[in-house]
Amino acid sequence: MIEAIQGDITKLDIDAVVNAANKTLLGGGGVDGAIHRAAGPELLAACREFGGCETGAARITPGFRLKARWIIHTPGPVWRDGEHGEPELLQSCYRSSFKLAREAGAKSIAFPNISTGVYGYPKADAARVAVGVMREENGNFERIVACCFDAENLGLYRDLLEGGE
Ligand code: AR6
C-alpha cells in the first residue's frame, strides 16, 4: 500500500527512511539535518566512507539511533528550470532508493518530498514523480509512505493517490 502521512520522518517505525541528501553525504539542513541529529554521530562516520554520491544515485547505511533499520541517502537535483534533466534525476533518486531497499530486504519505506525544500523543485511536480515510481514498486513492499512535513505536501500526495493519477 502507498499512503501519505504528515509527520517527522525521523520518528517513524518503519524499515527504511530515505534522506534528501547532498552530494557530499556529510549532512546539511532540512530533513538531512534532522536525520543526522536523530541518528547520532555514527551516521556521519558511516557516510564519510562513501566519499560522496552522484545526484540521482543512492547509498545505504544503518539507521543507528533511529527506529528505522536503514537510512537511504540520495542527493536530489537542484531545480533550475526543469530543462536540465531534473525530472529524470528525481525519478532516478526514487528508483535507486527502492533498489537498495529491496536488496536490503526492507518491506516498508518512507520518503520525504525530495528536492522540494532547499533545492527548490516545485512540490506538485516532485510529488507526481514520486508517486509514479511508488506505484511501480508497490508490489515489492508492504508499505510505502510519503512522509510530509507540512499540510500542503500532504494535500498534494493525497490528491495524487486518490485521483489515481
Ligand atoms: N520529516 C519529513 N520531511 C521533512 C523533514 C522531516 N523531519 N524536514 C524537512 N522535511 P529539504 P532538498 C521536508 O530542504 O530540497 C539539505 O541541506 C521539507 O519540508 O530537506 O532535497 C541537504 O543536505 C521538504 O518537503 O531537501 C541538501 O544540501 C523535503 O523534506 C539539501 O538540503 C525536502 O526538503 C537538499 O535539499
How many angstroms does the Cα of residue 82 sit away from the middle of ligand 1? Answer: 19
Give the pLDDT band (50/70/90) at residue 163: confident
How many angstroms does the Cα of residue 14 sit away from the middle of ligand 1? Answer: 19
Full DSSP string of 27-92: --SHHHHHHHHHH-HHHHHHHHTTT---TT--EEEE-TTSSSSEEEEEEPPPPSSS-SSHHHHHHH
Express as a percent the part of the chain with pLDDT over 70.
99
Mean pLDDT of all residues in 129-158: 97
Q: How far is CA 108 from the centre of its chain?
A: 13
Q: Domain 2-163 maps to which CATH number in 1.10.760.10, 3.30.429.10, 3.60.110.10, 3.40.220.10?
A: 3.40.220.10
What pTM, to 2 d.p., does this model score?
0.97
Residue 83: the pLDDT is 95
Over the stretch 112-139, which tens digit does the pLDDT of each residue have? 999 999 999 999 999 999 999 999 999 9
Sign of CA dihedral 104, 22, 17, 65: positive
Is-contact 43 28, C-beta < 8 A?
no
What mean pLDDT, rounded, does the chain reach? 97
The yes-or-no verdict on residue 104 having pLDDT over 90 is: yes
Domain boundaries, the chain: 2-163
Over the stretch 74-85, which tens digit does the pLDDT of each residue have? 999 999 999 999
Minimal-distance CA residue to ligand 1 atom 19 = 149
Q: Is 90's C-beta closer than 6 angstroms to any atom of ligand 1?
A: no
Q: Is 63's C-beta closer than 6 angstroms to any atom of ligand 1?
A: no
